[in-house]
Chains A and B, each alone.
Chain A
């Protein structure tokens, strides 16, 4: 049996096998209700250290989102798509991965990328406008933030497939890699989502798709996006396991996503996890969410803020006191201060770098254009800047 045959099963009785495989859909179906841990008996069985770790990361993530949004308002970032309200998904996504696993994030998944070890301002390089990707994807095993919706899901499948090919030739070579693709609810309407799931199912690739269903694709609500029973049900059509989880319940996301990753790693096939959550902020710092949703709706979700839910549990269980909270808050303030300081260190990118990485070797055309730019820069450097208008000269 080759790795490509791993997901085939015998055809249904009475049917020629050429149209197979046929599979029983029942084991693939998501649960009827989203999985919850907080507020259930299961909460008492979760490792307290894990809960405290989740809490600390939620607090830091929340502060990161706030600070980045402020920096965008002040003009230090071109734009910022905040994940405030979705932090539980963000941190769980990074926590369930091993260092050798790969993450395929979208523009909204800055917290997940930071949790992979990337320095905060390197995560934000795209939004600062310095460079398209501020970190080394190979080093952090984290793809660049993807903006063309759902395209990254295909990459995750390809990478996971390649890792399995390598593992087949080099067992024990550290290629038991899982790829985790992050995607939004709106992104599931894209053709690339469909194609990624098709390939994932057929190749039986060790890949997990986490759909952060925050209810909106910019202004368009999910009801206008899909008529599926849930987005997790979409998995079934591709022969993939679907799971449904409360995306604001940090230990629940951690548990479901962790199980999905190990399911994929063990060769049992891809998993699609739908996490139901809500973005409390606007789509980006440039968006006006009041045009498409009510403040009542936002307030209702604020009551289910992932940070509030976890904090309430920790307090109730005696796992967090005022001193503990103060320590975490101080760490968050330190993070925010470091972000402000990094922005203040003014550094503009070198325009000569524009031509550096278009091809392995620059073409003669690019060499010409680079030389022209260099000459222009030299010119500018040698001529003192002259004010454009008398008015500017007075200013």
Chain B
């Protein structure tokens, strides 16, 4: 599913779902408008036609019910893949997620693992009105028992989703809405491992640590810095849980300076966790405190103001400039 213009993230996700449905009869999709419509972002386009309305099930409009039903299906041995329509509309399912999906393996001493994948389009930058641009990754990453992954490239869209569905852990799969229409030349086919960060751009002077929708912004910032004579490494975390301390710390030690970039609010966010981990592990390699460039600590703003909220190239370069270069 790719044309001359390349494969989009949406197409890669669609292909991943199709391949999973083909290979494993236990895979079942549930969600709102995922059947005839193909989902509001068309990620499930054509799947109901190919696999039937039972394996690509249009559910009632009830997110706790969707996830709770998926829990029961997984208890019977199926491998449900749930679509939440938007980040903020996954909140009604939070009790099922925190109290059951995340805990069932643990509370049954491993006897009842729940291989459920929860796909959630997340993040802003698409001109969405209220409640359509939240970044909710910190809630999920803070909940032990869940894996939390987010692709930033088309290839990872395919690879990580295949890995999530194949995983015996419950996986919250966060799809950056802003990157849905980004495209890459080659149709992706490989499964990407969960739990491994990748260095997207090598660099010697400072390291940008980021994920999901902020990766392209960081790569642009690195490009701009390079023109000024600073080489920034860029690490794509891909997996927030499990967190790849090894790759992250190696990349930070190599440069001695680090900035964490994400678009969700900074306070008590992933950046706080990452900055603490890096400081605890790499203190003697650091020439400056780990800085954060994040969304503002406000409810997600109206679309005409969202560019002030989102970390941009300028704010990233400002942070890089503050990494105590004079010393």
Contact = CB atoms under 8 A, between A and B. Distances in A.
Interface in A148-172: 148, 151, 153-163, 165-166, 168-169
Interface of B: 25, 28, 52-54, 57, 59-60, 62, 64-65, 67-78, 80, 92, 95-96, 99-100, 103-113, 144-145, 147, 167-169, 195, 241-243, 245-246
Interface stretch (A221-229, A315-323, A359-367): A359-367
Contact of B65 (A131, A160, A196, A364): A196
* Top 4 A-B pairs, shortest CB-CB distance: A158-B72, A154-B68, A195-B65, A132-B107
B64 to A, nearest CB: 5
Interface of A: 2-4, 102, 131-133, 136-138, 143-144, 148, 151, 153-163, 165-166, 168-169, 177, 179, 191-192, 194-196, 198-199, 202-203, 353, 356-360, 363-365
6 contacts: A133-B107, A165-B78, A169-B25, A192-B96, A353-B109, A359-B147
Contact of A157 (B68, B80, B96, B147): B68
A84 B5 CA distance: 70
Contacts of B78: 162, 165
Contact of A4 (B28, B53, B77): B53
A364 B107 contact: no
Contacts of A196: 65, 68
Given A162-B76, A363-B241, A357 B68 contact: no
A363 B243 contact: yes
Chain A contact residues: helix, strand, loop or mixed: helix
B100 A132 contact: no
A372 B35 CA distance: 49
A89 B29 CA distance: 36
B109 A131 contact: yes
B54 A195 contact: no
Contacts of A158: 68-76, 80
A199 B95 contact: no
Given A155-B72, A162-B77, A132 B112 contact: no
B157 to A, nearest CB: 23
Contacts of A198: 60, 62, 65
Given A148-B95, A157-B72, 15 more contacts: A4-B54, A132-B107, A133-B108, A151-B96, A158-B73, A159-B72, A165-B54, A192-B68, A192-B95, A198-B65, A199-B65, A356-B110, A357-B109, A357-B110, A360-B167
A198 B66 CA distance: 11
A363 B95 contact: no
A138 B95 CA distance: 23
Given A2-B54, A169-B25, A198-B60, A357 B65 contact: no
A195 B95 CA distance: 13
B72 A156 contact: yes
A192 B63 CA distance: 10
Nearest to A364: B245
B53 A2 contact: yes
Nearest to B71: A155
Contacts of A357: 105-106, 108-110
Nearest to B76: A162
B242 A364 contact: yes
A161 B145 contact: no
Nearest to B60: A198
A143 B77 CA distance: 14
Among B71, B74, B145, B243: residue with most chain A CB under 10 A: B71
B65 A137 contact: no
A165 B28 contact: yes
Given A195-B64, A199-B69, A363-B242, A155 B100 contact: yes
Contacts of B60: 195, 198-199, 202
B65 A192 contact: yes
Nearest to A165: B54
